[in-house]
Amino acid sequence: MTNIKKSTSKGFITNYLTMNNEFLKGVLDAKLSRLLTESDYETFFALPNTEQLAFFLNNNLVTTNIVTNFEALCQHAQNDLKDEIINYLGKDHIYVKYFFSQKRQKDVSADYLNKLYESVAKQNDEWLRAYLDLEHSVLNVMLLLRGSTQKDVIKDMYLVQQIMSAETYHALLNSDRGTIFSYIKNTFNVDLESDATNREVEAKLDEYKLSKLKDLAVEGELAPTIIYYIKMKEYEIFRLRMIYHTKRNTYA
């Protein structure tokens, strides 16, 4: 059973409602069916700046309509997402601690991320570990591509996971770009043009990650659905921020 908490002016009151996992998954599945579409992003792109702010409220991305600064609005959306997940799981749940950790958002060192992976592994949460395997393996690939001229720097920055071994990482460290592209194709089944930029590669791999998380979310389990929901809501904020700042409705 999952304890749901009610938000009031006095904080969170425990024992507001108890939902079983099946019911809560149904709630999240319904919300996932209402995620922003490509048509919505196109609509946002065409709006003047003032109406782009209102777009957040009209699409239930934030619970406030008094913010006039775009970045502050994005932060409100992120905070509202955190509060929503806390309402579902409680503030001490491992998913709250991992996905909304301020330290994780600021400290991207290999040492910290590997210690975090180790701590998650000890929790025996197969779904969060599966997510981290995916996330860390993609980060390793992007590190190899971006650090191709700084091999002495990135040789000790390998991120632990169960998809790319340390041996493979160090072998690819001394490989050319085409070999890394072949690894991406063989491992993630992602096709890339030979002249693809790092940003284009990252966009393709991010798309792959979301598709894999979606596959996990339809397995019938609550945990992967929560992970997918968190990442898709974060993706919405990311896409809207990209459109706002670049004045282009494109990801790559």
CA distance 119 to 51: 43
Residue 124 has pLDDT above 80, yes or no: yes
Range scoring the smallest mean pLDDT among 98-107, 127-136, 142-151: 98-107
How many CB atoms neighbour CB 150 within 10 A? 11
Judged by DSSP in three states, 140 sits in: helix
**pTM, 2 dp:** 0.86
Long-range CB pairs of 192-197, under 8 A, 24+ apart, other chains included: 197/252
Residue 1 has pLDDT above 50, yes or no: no
Confidence of residue 220 (pLDDT cuts 50, 70, 90): confident
Residues 137-171 pLDDT 10s: 999 999 999 998 898 889 999 999 999 999 999 99
CA distance 232 to 236: 6
Confidence of residue 107 (pLDDT cuts 50, 70, 90): low
8 Å CB contact between 210 and 131: no
Q: What is the mean pLDDT of the chain?
A: 87
Confidence of residue 235 (pLDDT cuts 50, 70, 90): very high
Q: Which residue has the higher pLDDT, 232 or 19?
A: 232
CA distance 40 to 8: 32
pLDDT of residue 176: 95
8 Å CB contact between 5 and 14: yes
Residue 26 has pLDDT above 70, yes or no: yes
Residues 167-208 pLDDT 10s: 999 999 999 999 999 999 999 999 999 999 999 999 999 999
Backbone angles phi, psi at 192, to 5 degrees: -130, 145
Confidence of residue 251 (pLDDT cuts 50, 70, 90): low
Judged by DSSP in three states, 155 sits in: coil
Q: What is the mean pLDDT of residues 18-35?
A: 87
Cα torsion 122, 19, 24, 89: sign: negative
Least Cα distance to 82 among 70, 69, 98, 68 occurs for 98
Q: Which residue has the higher pLDDT, 12 or 231?
A: 231
Tokens of 198: 């790092």
pLDDT of residue 149: 85
Confidence of residue 240 (pLDDT cuts 50, 70, 90): very high
Q: What is the mean pLDDT of residues 54-68?
A: 84
8-9-12-17 Cα dihedral, nearest 10 degrees? -10
pLDDT of residue 39: 96
Query: In the chain, what are the helix, strand and coil shares in percent, each to the nearest 5?
Result: 65, 5, 30
Residues 3-20 pLDDT 10s: 333 333 333 333 323 468
| Residue recorded with tokens 């896409």 | 239
pLDDT of residue 252: 56
Q: Which residue has the higher pLDDT, 69 or 11?
A: 69
